[in-house]
Structure formats: structure tokens, C-alpha cells
Structure 1
Amino acid sequence: MSKTGPRSLKKQETRRFGFVEWFRPGEHERTEAVLPDIIASGASYLRTHLSWAEYLAPGGEEWFDWLIPRVGGEIDLLPCIHYTPPSLSRTGRSSGPPVDPKSYADFVDHILTRYGRYFRHVELWNEPNNLLDWDWRQDSDFLLFCEMIGGAAYWAKQRGYKPVLGGPCPFDPYWLNLMGERGVLGVIDAVGFHGFPGTWDSEQATWGGWDMHLGEMREIIDRYNADAEIWITEAGYSTWRNDEIEQARRFIKALNVPADRMYWYSWRDVPPDVPVQEGLWFDPRHYHLGAVSHDNKPKLLGRLLMEGGLGRLEEVTALATPQIAAGAAPVVVTGGSGFVGSNLADSLLNDGEDVIILDNLGRSGVDQNLSWLIERHGARVHPVLADVRDLMGIEAAFKDAKAVFHYAAQTAVTTSLIDPLDDFETNARGTINVLESVRKAGKRAPVIFASTNKVYGALDDLMMIELDDRYLPEDQLVRMQGIAEDRPLDFCTPYGCSKGVADQYILDYAKSFGIPAAVLRMSCIYGPRQFGTEDQGWVAHFLIRAFAGEAISIYGDGKQVRDILHVDDAVAAYRSLLANIDRAAGNAFNLGGGPRNAVSVLSVLREIGELTGRPVETSFGPWRAGDQFYFVANTQKLERETGWEARIGWREGLRHLAEWLIANRFGGRQIRREKRKVSA
């Protein structure tokens, strides 16, 4: 009887997983940074290489004397012993068979003596059917390989260790059967398997699915050693197209296949300046296999594991895409799990619309908004978990769309200054991907884009009057009406540039391709379902910090003025613009609270103090790049074209947000209520 069934049940019970991480000589700092994160992710195992070639190179022994105890003392370690020292190789390269196959067994014996207390299993070679790891042209019948590995495995077992046979890549059942016929399978405890479905085309062409390949593998192994386990020593999915949700799904899939262990390749991306392997041509897929980026920015997989382990990961990846009925014409909301997007989607769903939520769930907490929408509206919510940077991954979502609201974006000026390339890819390329998807669908669906007041730059030419708690423009008309759309564009900061580029592409697609598209250049929006941070969503961030009793950092002097707008009013503006898209297409409109809701940062802080019943602790830092002393939107053009107007005064709206935060984040405690008239 095959062991696939019982082993599968065992796998479900243990729910253990590991990561593969190659540490190069001298990477002490990187090892110290990566190891705690791998452990914090819930991983039970770590597979790393112990290069025979590197060990005998200058400084190699000292490196592994540090690495193996450091890693093996913290986590269940699987060292992969491979790579022939060039001086001992038949080809002079690390992939060449050793001149004397027994010398490999001698080295394994040395490693067991020196480091054996730090591991129980030892992996013997890696990808032996891959020319980059084993030059089988020098060993076409694998006689040298079998002599080398068989001897090392036999001796390791004699010493009480459990040898693991390195997995072929791609899987080759004929090679594995040959290992059985030659007696290698009879002296090992586990056989490795490598699988990267969906990442490499060469593998895709021969990929038959985990169950088929592991079943075939189990059948071969059972003929020679029924007690041997199957380990997935490498599984992975490259996010080179930014499809991070698919990586998370593939991880769960690999974890649940009938194998005794699963090692995911890898925790961190390979840095772009590091060659993956000597002689290997550049392939971007090799550089994006990690659960976090090379500079330790969490991808979805890494973030969810760090937030709540497998349970959290399964909760999010279970958000499937329900089928949309034939003939249905959904509204697509990109970034629909975000703050404004989820509020807009809820409004549309309340009116009976089918809504596609296209979101990469890249920001912590936004999956809660998606779950909230599904709980409220059920099957009319259609999650498409994809990234607007991935054109191939999003096109299908727009096929039957009757309208598109495009919110998906990188939203922070500070982040754009740290990583302007990613900011451009998300905001500029992501927007043109959306436009091209709509154009390809051929149905001229209206597209309404969430732009920003940052396209007007820092407004340095506006002369200001400095009062005790705010700045006001000297120009009386601007003071009375705000900044209008005839203000010249002046992109400032990478964020302003990327959003400005997107803004202009939206308007041009209306002209060049007849797509009814329009732009709303937003000021500061606030309200329920906002996960405010220091960099974006400052009104919610201030309230969250104040309710938590934590200090608030102010950049600048706090006298800068914004016209804050409640999200309910913002949603009404977007819907009004869609309803009037025939005459509004090709135009940009400013959207904010207007002069009636113009407040300084200091005045918002005072109001928060009234709500919490205590002064807010603050600290002040330098001004941030591109920050405007004053921005109040002149919304008269939008009002004329659509009949929209802001209805919620800022004090009323601030109290509404405070009550929502209390109910949803702070256990329902009461906020202070003053007996005074609430005004705008």
C-alpha cells in the first residue's frame, strides 16, 4: 500500500515548514538579520548549503565554524553538502565529479565529526541532474555519482545520521529509478524533490502537478526503500511580475501536498548585484523568490507569516474569486480593500451592483476591509487578488467591467523618496496597465482616477500670512475659494511625479482613445476603515495615537492648512462624477472639503484633545519634502458639473471617525462629549 495517504494526514497534523536560505562566506550581518525573522515566521526548519569548495577555500573553515553552530543552535538545520573543490574536480569546476569519489565521503565524515551535534539530517548534493550542480557529461551513466553518494550515505547512517538524497530539478523519474537500481535509495532516509510550478516555462512544460509527481516518486521509492520519506527540499514562486498573492497561494499548496517536509525557497530575495550562480545568465525570476525583498521589505507571504503564522496566511489566501454570472457587468474598484476603495465599494454594493475588488492586499490590515465587504454583501463581492503592476494578471478582471474606479497606488511621499522605482511602477505603470486593460476589453468603460493635490507641487510661490496657529495665503481670492484646476502643474517628489504622470495618462486616454475617463485630485480624506500611518492618513493616525496614549510627531510647525474631507463625501463625489461622466470625461477636478473645512494640523490636535479629554503629547521635526504650507481645494468646477458638495463638517466628521475607532480598535470605551454646538 502506498504511504501517500497516511503521510498526507500526518502533514496536515504537524503543519510544519521550513525555508531555504543560502548564506555566503562573510555574511555574518545578513545571517544575524535573517535568522530571527525566519524563526518569527513560524518556520521549524532551515536548509542551507555547506559548500565543500568554499570550506576548503581561504577563510572557509572559519566561516562554517561560525555559521553552522549559529544557525543549528536556533533551528532544525539541514546542511546541503555539495560543490567539488576545483583542485579535486575532474573538470576544475565545482560542478565536476571529484577525481576520487571517496573523497566526498571523507569530507562528509569530517563535517559530521566537526558539526554533527547541530543537525540530525544531512543532504548529499543538490540537483544532480542539473549541469550547474553536477556535470553529468563527465558521468553520463551516473556511476561516479552513485559511488560517491552511496558511500557517503552508508557511512552517515553508520554514524547515526539520516542522509537525504538531493532532489533532481526538474523531476526525472528515470533518474530516481536508476538511484534505486544502483542501491542509493536503500541507504537514504529521505529523497528531495524540487518544484517551482508557475515560475519557469521549461518546468511548466513538464509540470503535471504535485500529486502526480509525488505519487510517481512514492511508487518508485516504495520499490527500493518503503521507509524513506519524501521531502520537498525546494518549492517556490517568483514574484518578478509582482503577483505576491499567487506566491502566498503556492506556499499553502506546497505545504498541503503529501510530503513529509516542505522547504520554501527562500526567505529573502537575492540582491540584484549578486550573481545567482557562476556562469548563469541573468533571469529576473531568480531574484524574486523570497518571502521578503532583498532589503527586507515584507511581501505578502512574509508579512502574513510574521503577523499570525499559517492561520493568518490561510485566512487571506482563502479569499477566492467567486464566479460572476454570465452577462453581469461589474464595477471594478482597484485598491478596493483600501480606505476609500472599500467605502466606495460598500456604497455600490448597497445599491445592488456586482463589484470586483482588485487588490494586492499589500498594506497591513486591508484584508479586514475585504472580509468586511464579503460579510456584508456575500457573493456580489468578487475579490481578484492581483497587482496592477502585473498586466497579465489583471487583464481578465476588466473584461466585462461597466465602470472602473482606480485607487490602487503607492500613497506616501516618504516611501517614494526611499524607493522611487517601485513608486513609479505602482503609480505610473500600474495606471497605464489599468487603462490598457480597459482599452483591450473594448467596452469603453468609464475610468475615474484618484489623483492628488501633490500634482500642484509645493506651491512655493504663494505668499503666506503666518498666524498663531495657521498659515493663510495673502491672495484673498485663494483664501476665499481655494486652489483651482487652472493652477499650473508642478510635480514635486517622486510621488508627485508618478501620480502626475498617471493623472495625465488618464486625461490623454480620454482624448486619444475615447475612453470616458476623469480625474479627482484629492486633498486629505479621512473616515472609517482608514488604517492611518505617519506617512499617509494623518487624521486617523493622530486619533489612533491619541487614544493609545502615545505621542504624535509633527513635521514642520503644525500650522500647515488642509481642507479635510470625510470619506462619505468623497464617495458621493466619485459616484456623482460617474453619473455625469458623459460631460465630465477628459477633465480633472479638485476634491476636498473646501474653505469651510480648512483646518491646520494644530487645530485638529486641539479638537482631538477635546475628544480624548486630555492634551495630546506632540513633538516637532523638520519639514518633509514637498510639503505645502497651505492647500485648500476650490471644488466649484466639480460642483457645477455634478451637483456635488461637501456636507459633513470637519468636527462632526472627526467625532464620527473617533467613534468608529473606539468601537473597532479600542474596545468601545466612551469618548468625551462636550455640551457645545458642533459646527463646521
Structure 2
Amino acid sequence: MKVLITGGYGFIGSHVTERFYKEGYEIYIIDNLSTGDKDHVKIKHKFYELDVIDSKCQEVFSNVKFDVVIHLAAHIDAVASVEKPSFDATANILGLINMLELSSKYDVKKFILASSAAVYGSNEEIPLIEDTSLNPISPYGVSKLTGENYCKLWKNTYGLETVCLRFSNVYGPRQSVKGEGGVVAVFMNNLFLEKELCIYGTGEQTRDFIYVEDVVDAIYKSCDYSYSDVINVSVDTQYSLINLIDAIKNVHGDTDFRHEQLRKGDILHSRLSNKRAKKELNWTPLYTLNKGIFKTYKWYEEYFKEKNLAKDKNHYNKEHENLEKDEKKKRTYSKDSCHILKIY
């Protein structure tokens, strides 16, 4: 069995490659290396340095008859999607269409799209089920919803079996602070750079944090799912940011943090129902927040030790240098029409 993973050198993609390799798949990766890191993938694989919109992707599909395509490559920054919506649409919609066209043309058996909770927008219904009304409030959310509609269209028109997985707040080893890195990645970076952690608001706002290996397990089990559908992938639990700080303290010890004013547009509570995933995929999340944070912390600890970043702050790369600038930009940026800000 052959699997193509777009964005395979990224945070989630690199974990997907490891799982499918262990399950006996031949691994192929398309990645433009805009955010991915080759060092993330150590297993045997074939790599094509291409953008998913590139016409050269057809040669890859024609030469390798893929059984499964897992489409993870995407532009994932909701704030930047407001500033450059055309760039977001090019990466997230046109790139997807290219992958769908090639998958149907070359008889791919299963196409799996990484979607997002961003399709729900600001919705007070908790937990959010797949049939909830959708009202994305950013071009990023719109592009993900459009992607789901294209997958449905390809199933109905061309018979391509597609599954769209709406991830909640994914965290874990290898997550970058770039784009929608998420509060866990930001906190971990700041811890090892000996910076104070920042909570916007009281810290009582909640998120449905899910460890990356649980997400990967859902992706793998989707390969055997016999229907085309949209499925939430979540823990179906509301964790407050204070809960997150406590989990970090359990492994790190005392942790300094400060409160700042809640940012306009931030969603106060988020939780996705995972009943459909449990029933249809025979899947259940295995990682508690404490267990997931422990594994994540240990990875960052080793990462900073190897890079010698914690002891010599003058040598950390631009990713960390620009973090505070990015966060300041996100604190001050808002649009009355959509109020787009990072969803932790």
C-alpha cells in the first residue's frame, strides 16, 4: 500500500508518516518546505519538493499509483488569511482541487482532508456536532469549509471516497510557533527561553486540546472508513488555560505567568463532540492533558538542549525572535466584520 502525505514534513504530517510506516505503508511526501522540516522524518520515504498547486504533481501521481492521499498541506494562519485572503485561497483551495483532480484521475482509493474547527466560527453550542450550522469568521475557516464542499462534490461527481476530519486544538512534539502554532507551542517555547507566560483574560476560557498521536490514530482509522463523511476529531473535553498551566507545572515546576486583557474576537469556549468519530471510526482518544503535556514537554526539553537555545538566547532562530512581534500584531489586529484572532 502506498500513501501520499502532503505537508508530510510538518507538525502533524511528520507524525502521520511514522504511523503509516509502522503499519507497513510505502511513504511518499509532497512538501514545499515553507514551514516543514526534513529533520522531522527519519523513516524511509520518497520526497518531492513541490507545492500542491504545481502542475508537476501530475508526474508524481502518474508514476506512483497511490492507494491513499492524506492532504495536510495548507496555509494555517487565520490572522494572515485576513491580510492576504488570495494567498490563503491559492494554498487551501486551488492546491486541494489539484490534489482531488489527480486523485480521481489516478484511481486513489481514499482521500483524507485535514479540516478544522474554524469552520464552525463563533458558536455558543457546546459541544459542537458535525451537523451544527457553520459560520466561519475568517478566510481560513471559509477555505476549509470550501475544501469540505469540494470533497463532497468529488465524491458525488467522480466517485472519489473522501473523509474530512475537523481537528480541534492539536498540540504535541514538533509543533511550531509559526502561524496557528497554538498556545501549547507558544508556552513551551517561552518556558525554555525563560520567558514569562501570558494568559489573555482570566484563563477560564476553554479549549478542546487533543494530542497529536490521537489525531494520527483517527487519520489512520479513516482509511478503512467505507463512507464519505465529515467527522470531528477531538477529546470532547473543555480544558481551561488554567488547567493547561497546571499540567505544565506538574512537569516543569513553578511557572511564572501574567494576565493581559482578553483580546477582542477571542472565542471563550470551544469543544467538539467526538461521538461520530468513536462510532464510525471505532476510535477513542487515549491521551489525557497531563499525559500529552508531559510527552510534549520532554520533546521540547530535548529540542532546546540539542540546539543549545535555552542557555544561549543570542542563537535562537528568527522563528522565536519574531514570536513576540507576531503576538503583538495579533493582539492589536481586529476587523469589525469578522473579529479574527488566533483561537488557542
TM-score range normalised by the length of the shorter chain: 0.7 to 0.9
Match in the other structure for 1:455: 119
Match status 1:415 vs 2:77: no
The alignment partner of 1:549 has SS state of coil
Which of 278, 281, 285 matches 1:639?
278
Partners of 1:560 and 1:427 in 2: how far apart?
A: 29
Match in the other structure for 2:49: 385
Match in the other structure for 2:318: none
Partners of 2:50 and 2:307 in 1: how far apart?
A: 35
Match in the other structure for 1:609: 249
The alignment partner of 2:114 has SS state of strand
The aligned runs of 1:9-88 (5 Å cut-off) are: none
Match in the other structure for 2:141: 496
Partners of 1:555 and 1:411 in 2: how far apart?
A: 22
The aligned runs of 1:78-117 (5 Å cut-off) are: none
Match in the other structure for 1:345: 17
The aligned runs of 1:197-596 (5 Å cut-off) are: 330-363=2-35, 366-367=36-37, 370-373=38-41, 376-378=42-44, 381-390=45-54, 392-399=55-62, 400-441=65-106, 443-459=107-123, 462=124, 478=126, 482-533=127-178, 535-580=180-225, 582=226, 584-585=227-228, 587-595=229-237
Partners of 2:150 and 2:256 in 1: how far apart?
A: 42
TM-score by length of structure 1 reads 0.43
1:297-345 CA-to-partner distances (Å, cap 9, x unmatched) read xxxxxxxxxxxxxxxxxxxxxxxxxxxxxxxx52000011111111011
CA pair 557-389 structure 1, distance change in 2 beyond 3 A: farther
The alignment partner of 1:483 has SS state of coil
Aligned letter for 1:594?
A: D
Partners of 1:343 and 1:641 in 2: how far apart?
A: 23
CA pair 439-556 structure 1, distance change in 2 beyond 3 A: farther
Which of 215, 240, 244 matches 1:600?
240
Match in the other structure for 1:225: none
- CA displacement at 1:541 relative to structure 2: 1.8
Match in the other structure for 1:665: 304
Partners of 1:546 and 1:619 in 2: how far apart?
A: 16
Partners of 1:534 and 1:341 in 2: how far apart?
A: 16
Question: How many residues get paired?
Answer: 306
1:124-155 CA-to-partner distances (Å, cap 9, x unmatched) read xxxxxxxxxxxxxxxxxxxxxxxxxxxxxxxx
Aligned letter for 2:85?
A: P
Partners of 2:76 and 2:40 in 1: how far apart?
A: 22
- CA displacement at 1:516 relative to structure 2: 0.4
TM-score by length of structure 2 reads 0.83
Structure with more relative contact order (C-alpha pairs < 8 Å, separation 6 or more): 2
Partners of 1:555 and 1:371 in 2: how far apart?
A: 33
Aligned letter for 1:357?
A: I
- CA displacement at 1:440 relative to structure 2: 2.2
The alignment partner of 2:74 has SS state of coil
Identity of aligned residues (%): 26
Partners of 2:179 and 2:40 in 1: how far apart?
A: 25
The alignment partner of 1:579 has SS state of coil
The alignment partner of 1:632 has SS state of coil
Q: 1:551 touches 1:616 (CA, 8 Å); kept in 2?
A: yes
- CA displacement at 1:609 relative to structure 2: 3.2
Partners of 2:171 and 2:61 in 1: how far apart?
A: 28
Gaps of 5+ in 2: 309-344
CA pair 444-534 structure 1, distance change in 2 beyond 3 A: closer
Q: 1:609 touches 1:616 (CA, 8 Å); kept in 2?
A: no
- CA displacement at 1:401 relative to structure 2: 0.9
- CA displacement at 1:612 relative to structure 2: 2.2
Partners of 1:362 and 1:551 in 2: how far apart?
A: 29
1:40-63 CA-to-partner distances (Å, cap 9, x unmatched) read xxxxxxxxxxxxxxxxxxxxxxxx
CA pair 449-624 structure 1, distance change in 2 beyond 3 A: farther
- CA displacement at 1:357 relative to structure 2: 0.8
CA pair 500-624 structure 1, distance change in 2 beyond 3 A: farther
Q: 1:547 touches 1:612 (CA, 8 Å); kept in 2?
A: no
Aligned letter for 1:486?
A: D
Q: 1:333 touches 1:355 (CA, 8 Å); kept in 2?
A: yes
Partners of 1:342 and 1:486 in 2: how far apart?
A: 30
1:385-438 CA-to-partner distances (Å, cap 9, x unmatched) read 111132x12222233111000000011111112211111111111111110111
CA pair 549-501 structure 1, distance change in 2 beyond 3 A: same
Partners of 2:255 and 2:97 in 1: how far apart?
A: 46
CA pair 425-540 structure 1, distance change in 2 beyond 3 A: same
- CA displacement at 1:384 relative to structure 2: 0.8
- CA displacement at 1:538 relative to structure 2: 2.2
Partners of 2:307 and 2:254 in 1: how far apart?
A: 18
The alignment partner of 1:377 has SS state of coil
Aligned letter for 1:516?
A: E
The alignment partner of 2:88 has SS state of helix
- CA displacement at 1:628 relative to structure 2: 2.3
- CA displacement at 1:557 relative to structure 2: 4.4
